[in-house]
Every structure is written in C-alpha cells, then in structure tokens.
Amino acid sequence: MVNWKNLDELASFKALKELPAVDLKTEMTGEKGAERVKAYTVPMAEGLSYNFAAKAVNDDVLAVLQKLADEAQLEDKFAELYNGGMVNTGEKRYVLHHLCRGQLGNDVIADGQNKREFYVEQQNRIAAFAKKVYSGEIANEKGEKFTTVVQIGIGGSDLGPRAMYLALENWAKANGKLKMNAKFISNVDPDDAAAVLNSTDVAHALFILVSKSGTTLETLTNETFVKNALKKEGLDPSKHMIAVTSEASPLAHNEGYLDAFYMDNYIGGRYSSSSAVGGAVLSLAFGPETFAEFLEGMAAEDKTAKETDIRKNPAMLDALIGVYERNVLNYECTAVLPYSQALSRFPAHLQQLDMESNGKSVNRFGEPMNYKTGPILFGEPGTNGQHSFYQLLHQGTNIVPLQFVGFRKNQCGMDDVIEGSTSQAKLCANVAAQIVAFATGKDDDNPNKRFAGNRPSSIIIGDQLTPRTLGALLAHFENKVMFQGFAWNVNSFDQEGVQLGKVLAKKVLAHQTDGALAAYSDLLNI
C-alpha cells in the first residue's frame, strides 16, 4: 500500500540531515577526482549517461538517499501513476502522459475510452494528415503545397513543442528530414504574431491552433489576429487552420478548421510534447517517422525510471540529489546549461516543467509544509552563458547547483579545424573545464582572482542530439520532476498558481475594477 507522507516525517530524511558535508573540492582533485568521474556515472537510454561525480555526495550520502527512495516509496508511486491511479489529487485526474509513448503499465479506461488506444489513434491520424499535406492532397485553395507550419499556443502548447523543434531543426536539415519549416506564436503581445506573420508566406502556411479548453484568451486572440491577416490576403482561414484541442471544446468538430486532433485533461500542458500538442507540429515539420523515434527515446528512458536501485535509475537519482541540495544543503536555485545551441529553448521549457509542477507550498492534501520545495530554475546554452551569468556562479555569494548537457558530435557535420582544434572540440573543452573549475576552484593571493570551488554540478552526456536522444533527455527531466514531487509530497500535476492573474485580467478587460487594479488599468491606458 502506498503511503503519502511529508518529507520531514521520514526517518531517512532525518538521517540525511545528520551526515557530514562532502568536501567536493577534495573529492574532485587529482587522481581521486579521475576515479570519481569513472565511478559516478549511471547509464541512461539511447546511449546517454548521467555523471554526478561533481555533485557534493559520496557513498554514505547515496546509501541514505536509497533508503529515502525506499521509505518514500518513490517507485511504488510511479507504478501507481502509470497504472492509472488518481495521482493528480488537486483536480482528481489521472496522469497519463507516459501512455503517449510506451507500454509501462495497465490500460486505463476513462471517459468511456481506452486511453492508450486513444493516444495512438491521434498519433495515427496526425501521421495520415501529414502525409496528405506532403503529397498535396491537402493543399491551399490554389492547390499549392503548404511549406510552413505555424503553431499558435501558449505555455505548454508552445514551450515544449518549440524547444523540441529547435532541438531537431539542424539535425533534420543535415539528414534530409525537414519537411516543413515551423514557427510559433505564443505571446498575446501583437508584436509576436506580427513578427511571425511578416516573415511568413501565409498563402502557403498551415496554422495549428492549440488550446485544450478552446477558451484560452491569449491563443484565441492570436487566432483572430492570424485569421484577419489571412482574410487581408484574400484567403479563407478555414482552409489554412487545424486545431489541437479536447473533444468537448468548441474547436472540436468545427467547420472553421481543416481537421482537429485531440488531447484530454489527463496530460498537463508542460507534459504534452509527446501528445498531439507536440505531435502535430513535429510530425508536420519532420515527418511522423521522426516523431515516432522521439517517442521511442522517451519510452526507453521511462523504462529506466522503473528501477528501484537509484544507481540504475538516473531520473530518481538526479531527483534525490536535488532534494538533498534543496532541503539539506539549502540551495535555492538550479541552472540547466546545455552545451548545444540546438537546446537554446530547452531551459525555458524546463522552467515551466519544474517550477509549475513543484512550486507548491502545501502538500497533496492541502496542508502547509515546513520545508522548501521546487527550486528556481534558469539556464542558457554554453558557451554564451559563460559570458553572461557564470561570474555569479563562480564567485557569487549564492551556490547554484548546475546541470550540464553535452554531446560529443554536433548535428550539422560542419566542423573545420580552426587554430588547431574544431569548434566542437572547443565546445566540449569548455564544458569539461567548467565542471572542474566549479568543483575545485583556484587559490590566489589576489581575492578577486580566488575561486572557492565546491560548486556542484552534474552532466548528461551523449554522442549526438537526435530524435531518440532528445526524447530520452526530455523523459529524464519529466521523471526527475515527478520523483521530486513524490519526495516532497506535493501534487506535481496541477497549476492553480497560474489562475488568479487570468481571472483578474478578465476583470480589467471588462472594466470591473477598483483600488490598485483600477489604478494600474488607468496607468496602462486600458
């Protein structure tokens, strides 16, 4: 039987707090550091590996983290989730994003449907639609092929799909897999939509409207913006738009769209890249076969998350080290630093994934907690970040745990030798140097040139960023966030914190305001 307990009720957590701190600087210096790098590596799916040698842990800490995983029943809770337990207690919903990409557990029957079959059906419908677009069977009013796909959505309808598209765009070009260029409109700021439309041949553009409810203010506003632009060009919007929505939405079965593909309430927006939300745009851009490879990479990594041994379960280990850093070492933030330009928007997606999931101050039963939960997350690709905020990371007063991501090969195949080494070698040299510099620091008589060290980091390493490795990478972080939510005893699958502002914004637009809200409305000339 699964018991949901607060972190501070667990005997293993109390034992964790009593362990002496690990001197990372000593552990990572010299031959001892070299041996540690070899020993502290956990295989992931698709040839990736999670190396945590530069984290401030040792075998004693790991032993207690294993006890915490067992006592908190992390694996049992994951099993309850993928077997159709009502894990989203806040909204009394199943949590089914894993069903979109694999065979982890039981079939789940909800709303009179077999949900596994429902998700597969949507993937198959999207694949068939994409092939008709490529062949010209589905074309614009003049019978000309669509060349660009534009996704209109916000939050999880934008951040994940956009990050995944950018991650694979160069790979697709290098491998002859780019079927259509993709663009994204998210912000209700009209400059966002205008910038995309002004750089798009709208006569040959297919627009995807993504809204689960069909009532999202920003998305419907941008839809109207786009429809007006199409009409100004003498085009019929209904011949240029499809919808991704729920079957109960006003967008479903609507003659205003070429077709509609469906999602449901059991997949939160930030977990929806493997659903029709990501599936439509990624299948159209790269082909349904490429999207299928992405899903296969996610499924392979999901299987590693079923291991009870944390040394065989990289997502659980990563999560528990994060709990140790947050609740014992008292670090407030974490940074995700991909040394891959293709992952330029990956940290932005992880901000929503992590902070919207675990940014909670009450447990899954609505009771206040006496410990910290989700960290503040930020990030930027290396080496750009090195010339931005790394100064604070190296010598600032806050210690920020770091998560590097790196690949041995680039995606484009272009890598000339310049001044004795390739650009990729320079990139990899930088990430290796940063890990050691953060951990070991540097002594100097000049305080301004002194680096204290003991700044923890881990790295996920792969050969190349491909659809499969991208899928495994995304699944790792989704499962890491899930395991941390289980450890903290929060509901990682609702997001009530985003609702209040939406309610007040509607009052402003309806001119139903008073007090400070009215004053700010006047200040902004609403």
Residues assigned a catalytic role: 356, 387, 502
Task: Name residue 410's beta-bridge partners.
Answer: none
Per the DSSP assignment, residues forming a β-bridge with 152 are 185, 209
Distances (CA, A) of 485 to 16, 53, 159, 333: 18, 24, 21, 16
- What is the rounded distance in angstroms from the CA atom of residue 84 to the CA atom of residue 93? 9
With 0-12 / 13-18 / 19 or more C-beta atoms within 10 angstroms meaning exposed / middle / buried, residue 22 is middle
Structure tokens at 498: 């985003």
CA distance 93 to 112: 15
What distance in Å separates the CA atoms of residue 508 and residue 318, rounded to the nearest whole number?
43
Residue 51 sits at φ, ψ, to 5 deg, of -110, 125
Q: Which residues contact 79 (CB under 8 A, 6 or more apart)?
A: 105, 306
Coil, strand or helix at 496 = helix
**What one-character-per-residue DSSP string does 231-262 give?**
HHTT--GGGSEEEEEETTSTTTT-TTSS-EEE
Nearest-angstrom CA–CA distance, 180 and 182:
6
Whole-angstrom distance, CA of residue 466 vs CA of residue 174: 11
* DSSP, res 375: P
Can you tell me the distance from the alpha carbon of 322 to that of 328, in angstroms, rounded to the nearest whole number? 10
Give 354-360 contacts, CB < 8 A, sequence gap 24+.
Answer: 354/477, 354/481, 356/270, 356/495, 356/497, 356/498, 357/270, 357/481, 357/482, 357/485, 357/492, 357/493, 357/495, 358/481, 358/484, 358/485, 358/488, 358/490, 358/492, 359/497, 360/488, 360/490, 360/491
Residue showing tokens 């490795």: 469
Q: Are 193 and 225 in contact (CB under 8 A)?
A: yes
- The set of residues, in sequence order, having a beta carbon less than 8 Å from that of 72 and lying 6+ positions away, is 5, 7, 10, 12, 486, 487
Cβ-count burial of 171 within 10 angstroms (0-12 exposed, 13-18 middle, 19+ buried)?
A: buried
- At 123, list the tokens: 């993937």
Question: 79-106 burial string, b = 16+ CB within 10 Å, else e?
Answer: bbbbebbebbbbbebbbbbbbbbbebbe
| 19: Cα within 13 Å, side-chain hemisphere | 23
* Residues forming beta bridges with residue 149, ordered by sequence position: 182, 206
